[in-house]
Structure 1
Amino acid sequence: MTGGLHAHVVVPERAVDVHLDIAADECVALVGPNGAGKSTVVEALAGLLRPRAGEVRLGDRVLTDTPAHRRGVGLVAQRADLFPHLSVARNVAYGPRASGAGSREARHRSAVALAAVGVAGLADRAPDTLSGGQAQRVAIARALATDPALLLLDEPTSALDVDARAEVRAALATARAGRPTLLVTHDPLEAVALADRIVVLEDGRVAESGPAEVVLGRPRSAFAASFSGLVLVRGTATAGGIALDDGGELSSDTGTAPPGRAALAAYHPTAAVPSRTGAGPARTVTALEPRDGLVRVRAGELVADVTVATATALRLAPGESVRIAVPASEVVVYEPTGARIAG
């Protein structure tokens, strides 16, 4: 088993300053809004970008000044970009051959890698005869055939349809085993399926980091809440829930913050119940947005997803007053410790 990754990537011209550690058999999902610095981190680890400062260390090897082709890093990007003039088998064998393996060894490693990701039957095919999902699994095999000490997965399923993504995720699960792996993704299902830990980047810095179930279930940054599909609100913990900074309270059956402390609360927007005169904090509707067959009602920091019929019956519109209640069983209250809170 290879050693872990310890990296400090500093690129002032892109306003990036990121510390990143990945254990020897760990997959870390790197998530964040566009422009947060994810691509910069990947490029620096792959050797495609020379950071202004910092260090990249893999096990006992310092890679900061090592050229990309000598780093032992495997990269799977959004596009497979297979060599069009080579068969699938020869595409996968290219890496071992380029690193000095003999033809017999390269063919063996190609066959083993293709079998590992379930596409051994495609060995003699030309790249232009493959589907998107097949081509991406071949790209994963190509990375595996070099036995990389670090695997970088840069949005590896973003260009695929839903059916192909499931097959590629299975191949990625095979590829990430036994080596430090960094997964850049905009797909929370992919993060849950593959990652042990999630690191959230915002504005070129780490906004929060933790086990996948913690970051997605109890987010502490604005992006993590959005990524997990939750609404994140701030306030002061009470004995029965949270007093919101903008007024009103939400009750909670699962509060872990001591009363009187600064606290966060998270809930899923489909659990919220808007009304004109019912329970819940009073707010002014700021926006109505279509959302996966529903209407997203934004009212200050509170959000509710309701059916079109409900929105119509309540005559909701920007500028109108509304009350938004959330069942206590659906609200989780916790302390905002261990991370910078990005609003």
Structure 2
Amino acid sequence: MSGGLRAQVVVPERDVDVRLDVGPDECVALVGPNGAGKSTIVEALAGLLRTRRGEVLLGDRVLTRLSAHRRGVGLVAQRPDLFPHLSVARNVAFGPRAAGTAVQEARHRSATALAAVGASELAERAPGTLSGGQAQRVAIARALATEPALLLLDEPTSALDVDARTEVRAALGTARTGRPTLLVTHDPLEAVTLSDRIVVLDSGRVVEQGPTAAVLGRPTSAFGAAFSGLTLVRGTATRGGIALEDGGELASGTGTAPPGTAALAAYHPTAAVVSRNGAGPERVVTALEPRDGLVRVRTVDLVADVTVSTAAALRIQPGERVRIAVPAAELTVYQPAATS
């Protein structure tokens, strides 16, 4: 199998300048808001977007000027786009045959790839008879049959229902093994189950990166926090917690930032307690939003998810003052980390 990926993707007309490194047996999740540059990076690595600047190295091979069909890159996109006139087995064998592989070898690769993703029983089916999850597993097998040196997964489960996503994630876990893999996703569970590291993009630049557990547990960027479902606040570390930029303090049971230094703190909004006259910094409510059966109370920096009955009992309205407390055991204080 190939070595790792080292790439500098520079597309000035899209304001993208990103360096990526993916180890030989590593899966890196690429996340970020819409328009951050994720699709540009996938297109550039796959050879679908020709770039005048930057460099793409895969092991000891320079891919920068190679056309898409000569790169040895497998791409699994949101939709499978199988050939409707070919059986599943022939769809999967198409890539090897197009590359000049003999018929018998192409059939062997097709059967092997389908077995790897648990879809052998689909071999003789027509694509039009498959469910969404089955079709996507076939698309993964099609990519594997080309024996790609690099695998690109571009939101591979976003078009599927919850049940289908589970079976496809299992197939992706098999597919990513033994090769560098870049996963573009908006699904935190997908990142947790498949990726070793997370790279966060915003406005065409890397704003945060690190091991999956670190980025999800101690995010340093606004999108990293939103992706992990946490609220991120900034301030100055104290001996017992953090003094917030917008006033007030929060206590923490876990802290790694020296007192007096710039610090971040993260907590889950469901841990926060909202009251009229209780503990916690006083804030003005800026917005109320429905959130998975709860009510999200937003202020300039603090966020709390409360039950509908709690919101009604407190008669919370935008523009009114409330106090928001976070139990010390639920708040983690840490130092900001460099993006690279």
Q: TM-score, normalised by structure 2?
A: 0.99
Match of 1:47 in 2: 47
Counterpart check, 1:240 vs 2:240: yes
- How far is 1:339 from its partner? 2.7
| C-alpha separation in 2, matches of 1:320 and 1:45 | 50
| C-alpha separation in 2, matches of 1:231 and 1:53 | 37
Match of 1:172 in 2: 172
**Aligned alpha-carbon RMSD (Å):** 0.6
Q: TM-score, normalised by structure 1?
A: 0.99
- How far is 1:192 from its partner? 0.3
Match of 1:146 in 2: 146
1:12 and 1:52 in contact (8 A); partners too: no
Instruction: Trace 1:17-96 onto structure 2 (pairs within 5 A).
Output: 17-96=17-96
| C-alpha separation in 1, matches of 2:156 and 2:337 | 32
Letter of the 2:275 counterpart: S
| C-alpha separation in 2, matches of 1:111 and 1:339 | 43
1:24 and 1:180 in contact (8 A); partners too: yes
After superposition, the C-alpha distances for 1:66-105 in whole angstroms (9 at most, x for unaligned) are 0000000000000000000000000000001011111000
Letter of the 1:207 counterpart: V
Match of 2:313 in 1: 313
| C-alpha separation in 2, matches of 1:54 and 1:70 | 18
Partner SS, residue 164 of structure 1: helix
Letter of the 1:261 counterpart: T
- How far is 1:300 from its partner? 1.3
| C-alpha separation in 2, matches of 1:329 and 1:126 | 55
| C-alpha separation in 2, matches of 1:19 and 1:166 | 31
| C-alpha separation in 2, matches of 1:19 and 1:142 | 28
Partner SS, residue 50 of structure 1: coil
Letter of the 2:29 counterpart: A
| C-alpha separation in 2, matches of 1:66 and 1:193 | 32
Gaps of 5+ in 2: none
1:4 and 1:22 in contact (8 A); partners too: yes
User: Aligned pair count?
Assistant: 340
- How far is 1:338 from its partner? 1.5
- How far is 1:200 from its partner? 0.2
Instruction: Trace 1:134-283 onto structure 2 (pairs within 5 A).
Output: 134-283=134-283
- How far is 1:52 from its partner? 2.9
- How far is 1:129 from its partner? 0.2
Partner SS, residue 143 of structure 1: helix
| C-alpha separation in 1, matches of 2:295 and 2:50 | 46
| C-alpha separation in 2, matches of 1:26 and 1:98 | 28
Gaps of 5+ in 1: none
Counterpart check, 1:297 vs 2:268: no
Partner SS, residue 319 of structure 1: coil
- How far is 1:337 from its partner? 2.3
After superposition, the C-alpha distances for 1:94-144 in whole angstroms (9 at most, x for unaligned) are 001011111000000000000000010000000000000000000000000
Counterpart check, 1:108 vs 2:108: yes
- How far is 1:50 from its partner? 1.2
Match of 2:337 in 1: 337
1:264 and 1:336 in contact (8 A); partners too: yes
Partner SS, residue 169 of structure 1: helix
Percent of aligned pairs sharing the same letter: 79
Partner SS, residue 258 of structure 2: coil
| C-alpha separation in 1, matches of 2:132 and 2:183 | 19
After superposition, the C-alpha distances for 1:126-179 in whole angstroms (9 at most, x for unaligned) are 000000000000000000000000000000000000000000000000000000
Letter of the 2:14 counterpart: R
Letter of the 2:223 counterpart: F
Partner SS, residue 319 of structure 2: coil
- How far is 1:231 from its partner? 0.1
Moved over 3 A (4+): none
After superposition, the C-alpha distances for 1:270-321 in whole angstroms (9 at most, x for unaligned) are 0000000000000000000000000000011100000000000011000000
| C-alpha separation in 1, matches of 2:111 and 2:5 | 28
